[in-house]
Amino acid sequence: MPAAPSSSGKAMAAAAVVVTMLLASAAAAAAQHDYGDALHKCILFFEGQRSGRLPPDQRVRWRRDSGLHDGAAAGVDLTGGYYDAGDNVKFGFPMAFTATLMSWGLIDFGRSFGPHKEEARKAVRWATDYLMKATARPNTVYVQVGDAFRDHACWERPEDMDTPRTVYRVDPSHPGSDVAAETAAALAAASIVFRDSDPAYSKRLLDRAVAVFEFADKHRGPYSSSLHAAVCPCYCDYSGYQDELLWGAAWLHKASRRREYREYIKRNEVVLGASEAINEFGWDNKHAGINVLISKEVLMGKDEYFQSFRVNADNFICTLLPGISNHPQIQYSPGGLLFKVGSSNMQHVTQLSFLLLAYSNYLSHAGGRVSCGSSSASPAQLRRVAKRQVDYILGDNPLRMSYMVGYGARFPRRIHHRASSIPSVAAHPARIGCKAGAAYYASPAPNPNLLVGAVVGGPTDASDAFPDARAVFQQSEPTTYINAPLMGLLAYFSAHPNPADSGGD
């Protein structure tokens, strides 16, 4: 049960004091971290999540080809893409969001990626190549491959999976503005990533993004109504599709610079709820991300037209700052971890920290500060809060545990991940069936295959506790959308390890 308001206020105040103390020593503690190595591993994780025919340069060697007939029953090629987490379903909604966030990191902090930039672009392309296949038919977006309920009833390697690879789509008769607009956002953002390195591919991505967004806007409706039995409860869109329409338009405006998207955003700002739920950002709710992204236009002096988005962004950022925020949904643990009540807390940590860093970057270039009522915060303060979260993930926490597999001396060994927890095809060539994998799920032994770079859900409350148990999936399961924003964060801090001295990228 939630604490009474007075207790909650005292807990938050105490946590704020602890966090402030921790922030003061963050620079010294963080000197131990090799952010470049963590970035390399963060990107490598995506190779372990690949579906389809693996390329010759695949580095996660214990994985093999899988899902080679995906889409065949529907007469479409849907091979490739990513498994979103520890299961074997391809969910288009979080996959598209993952691609958008990976691209945003490369767009804003590309110079900081250094020698890892090309592998990061490859990680984006593995997603966008799939999304191009999923949107190849006009007015249609294929949004899922695999029966989630049947898949979750099994514990088997993706190489062995024999559960139904059912294909689900949205079209004019079965709208899905949320997933379609997120897909348009991903394609538009990626078009910026590949603009210099592969102009022809970039153009194809942008052209497709335009067409997919038009479909999303023209045929409005949530995909969780059209495909409720298939997509809920795993990736049900609880926040509605309105935020994705604004999000998609914002990315199309950024990628194309077409006036029509600028006008769309301003015309729909109120009706699509730009100022609603500004403390949220994730695969379901894009409101805070919309305001931060569009605020860059205002801060760069390009578009006062969007001043209201800057106000919304400031209000959002203020909810995240220890010692300033009194927002009940944003709290900090005694060890300094940002947490929101619910499962898989690290998704909130990496996604909200990325927005802090991105906004600090825009403010630095503009010489601005965040206005929080009677107080304000500098870009350096925002960076320090974001860096503290990254350092917590990498091991600066009460357990002295890295929550990234393969980084540091101590990290999770029993992650909730089928392919990692079952012997590889090389080690056990014979098929391991649906129910035969249960023995590996229940085993107390560490996973035989190291999914290097995977960041798990981590502590989910104020206790800073972590059981390292496969069965506690809320804490032990990695996801692509935890790692996606972490790429940009790690790139930035690898190039700017002292946030007090660093400006914009």
Catalytic sites, residue numbers: 416, 468, 477
The residues with which 377 forms a beta bridge, in sequence order, are 370
- Exposure string for 316-345, b = 16+ CB within 10 A, e = fewer: bbbbbbbbbbebeebbbbbbbbbbbeeebb
Q: Is the dihedral of CA 358, 359, 364, 365 positive or negative?
A: positive
Please report the beta strands in 134-271, taking only residues with DSSP state E, as ranges in sequence order: 141-145, 167-170
332 close to 19: Cβ distance less than 8 angstroms: yes
Round to whole Å and give the CA distance between 97 and 83.
13
Round to whole Å and give the CA distance between 391 and 401.
11
Round to whole Å and give the CA distance between 225 and 230.
10
Residue 175 one-letter amino acid:
P
Round to whole Å and give the CA distance between 178 and 243.
8
CB atoms within 10 A of CB 128: 29
- For the chain, what is the largest distance between any 2 Cα atoms, rounded to a whole number of angstroms? 66
